[in-house]
Amino acid sequence: MRDRTDAPAPAPAPDAAAGRTPARPGPGPDRGPEQGPGPDRGPEQGPEPASVPRPLREHRHWPRSFADRLTTPLPGVRGYARLAREGAFRPGTEGLRGIPDLPYEPAPLPPVHPGGVCVTWAGHASWVLRTGGLTVLTDPVWSRRILGTPARMTPVGVRWEELPPVDAVVISHNHYDHLDAPTLKRLPRHTDLFVPAGLAGWFRRRGFTRVTDLDWWEAAELGGVRFEFVPAHHWSKRSLLDTCRSLWGGWILTDTLSAAPRKLYFAGDTGYGHWFGEIGRRHPGIDLALLPVGAYAPRWWLGDVHADPEEAVQACLDLGARRMAPMHWAAFVLSAEPVMEPLHRTLAAWQRAGLPREDLWDLPIGASRALPAEDVRTTG
């Protein structure tokens, strides 16, 4: 669709290293062993048929580790030693001076008409998505503080008491800034949860009864929405002994009730890499990509698992997405870049790419925006 123009806190979830190794593609229900990762399959083959939805809430058995899905090796002793020596994983005083300028404009959730799609940024990777007649939360973190980080720079953009009834929650992976136990305790235990492979047990032990865990390229349907779990360049860890014991990824949410189904892509946490092109090939016509643009410095430490703003814009191009909404910045101090830098660099990269300004949805925390009803659908 478009051409290229440019090129967490250490305690709970220290992020990545150097060197790149191939990732094993997720099998999915219809994926044969002859199919390789995205880079080896040309776009001329067109999109693959949608996978057959799996049953909701089934109990499944998974491998003990998903380390073979890593795109890059995890950091070793030398990496941690360098991080401790340099101490460069928080912005200095100058970098924090932009906190008063962080965009924060909470407002009541607007009504959504039948068949409409509306997104509201609650902050970080937490969104309120209303699509297909459902209200869906992504990686809900309503806590003021998460393990290993200072308190939030900005409050949550949507008061919990003002949320409509939550029909479903999607989780991208188990890092503390994406899987927040205190927030999840607020949910009714009968809420439908869509989570990565290997993570269902964590929720069931806490009393949740409607948990669906999926592998890459697998999907399930609830009401008028199809939820497909897709790959990401990241990893998982929540304690000393569970590294890569559960999978990580993003989600494609498709409104299945409309004549022209709307598609939202929630990336979760991810570095830049070949998976974006493969996701776009399998899912042409993404209406809006929610992409992370923050927590990327220093690059030698975070570059493989957290996209920077320029890479996020390129990911949008690779996906063939019509619009992009930046996220994963302005809420928590997770890395060393100045707090306003992610937005400034995203705006500059978008302009350099020659993309329409109105297609970059750089929402303030708490703001909402609806997809226009008169969208002209393209899948090329």
The pLDDT of residue 200: 99
CATH number for the domain spanning 127: value is: 3.60.15.10
DSSP-assigned letters across all residues of 92-108: -HHHHTTGGGS-B---P
Please report the pLDDT score of residue 48 as a whole number. Answer: 66
pLDDT averaged over every residue in the chain: 88
Question: Would 263 be classed as within a structural domain?
Answer: yes
Domain-located, residue 282: yes
pLDDT tens by residue, 292-307: 999 999 999 999 999 9
In a domain, 4, yes or no: no
pLDDT of the residue at 337:
98
Q: 């090796």: which residue's tokens? A: 73
User: What pLDDT is attached to residue 375?
Assistant: 60
- How much is the pLDDT for 373? 83
Which parts of the chain are beta strand (E)? 118-123, 126-131, 134-138, 168-170, 192-196, 211-214, 219-222, 225-230, 250-255, 263-266, 288-292, 324-327, 368-370
* Residue 170 within any structural domain of the chain: yes
DSSP codes joined into one string, 264-312: EEE--S---STHHHHHHHHS---SEEEEE-----SHHHHTTTS--HHHH
Q: 49 falls in which pLDDT band (50, 70, 90)?
A: low
Handedness of CA 85, 333, 148, 243 (dihedral sign): negative
Domain that includes residue 178, residue range: 63-370
Residue 3 is assigned to a structural domain of this protein = no
pLDDT in the model for residue 15: 37
Inside any domain, residue 46: no
Q: Is 357 helix (H, G, I), strand (E, B) or coil?
A: helix
- pLDDT tens digit sequence for 194-241: 999 999 999 999 999 999 999 999 999 999 999 999 999 999 999 999
Residue 208 falls within a domain, yes or no? Answer: yes
Mean pLDDT to the nearest integer, 252-274: 95
* Total of domains in the chain: 1
Phi, psi (deg, nearest 5) at residue 288:
-150, 130
